Amino acid sequence: MTRRFLAGAALAGLALAWPGSALAAETHVNGRNQAVHCVNGTAQKDGRVLLGCRLAGNHTLANGRNQAVHCLDDMPVRFDPGGTLLYCTLNGNHTLANGRNQAVHCENRRVASFFPAGTVWGCYLNGNHTLANGRNQAVHCANDTQIVFFGNGTISSCVLNGNHTLANGRNQAVHCSNVQRVTFFAEGTVRSCVLNGNHTLVRAGNMAQACRGGQPANFDAAGLVVSCARL
């Protein structure tokens, strides 16, 4: 097909099959005036501006750092109104940056999401990583598991690579189990984890609460235990 035919067909609203995809496609424009080929009937728009669709063909798009992100055919994509990429499924391993400008290696064929500024919100880790919570405490996060960041680049959630001793909002030591998910408040205190061993914690009313090891415990921002498996 010639470029003239393709352009004319797109303007006429004809379905096209783009290279790398066997899917019938239509072409739309995001807020960066970038052509995006979408599977017929999947486009979500604000007026004439594309906000999201299922891609017809592999695409190279841009996050808010103007970094090239390779997005996989036949998977959902989302943009902000200005055309900045918010999420897609990666086509190839990528090295991206969190809000601390720290390199984060993200896995091929898994979803990566971005803040509007272009830093990583979440992805699946390609390799073990040592990153930081809001207390600037080193947290070892496991390969091939999902990580989520706050906007400033500190960890919101990851799966631990090794047992960790962390702190709740009362600055009380909380022993968290290997290969289990931990979540943090923005300040870096523990919101939840699977306890490594029995713990005596504090619940509302300043009452002691005995919690069973090997089970999840959830805390409020003040460090009081909200739920656990009671002994």
Task: Kindly provide the residue ranges of all beta strands, DSSP E only, lying in 55-117, ordered along the sequence.
Answer: 59-62, 68-71, 76-79, 85-89, 94-97, 103-106, 111-114
Q: What b/e readout covers 31-44, taking b as 16+ CB neighbours within 10 angstroms?
A: bbebebbbbeebbe
> Residues 6 or more apart from 62 whose CB is under 8 A from it?
32, 34, 68, 69, 83, 84, 85
pLDDT in tens, the chain (231 residues): 333 323 333 323 333 334 445 557 999 999 999 999 999 999 999 999 999 999 999 999 999 999 999 999 999 999 999 999 999 999 999 999 999 999 999 999 999 999 999 999 999 999 999 999 999 999 999 999 999 999 999 999 999 999 999 999 999 999 999 999 999 999 999 999 999 999 999 999 999 999 999 999 999 999 999 999 999
Q: Which residues contact 205 (CB under 8 A, 6 or more apart)?
A: none
Task: Note the pLDDT of residue 123.
Answer: 98
Quick one: pLDDT at residue 17? Answer: 37
Q: What is the pLDDT of residue 24?
A: 75
Bridge partners (DSSP) of residue 94 are 106
Site of tokens 């523990």: 190
Provide the pLDDT for residue 18: 42
- How many helices (H) and strands (E) the chain has is answered by 1, 25
Cβ atoms of 33 and 83 closer than 8 Å: yes
Q: The tokens of 1 are what?
A: 């097909």
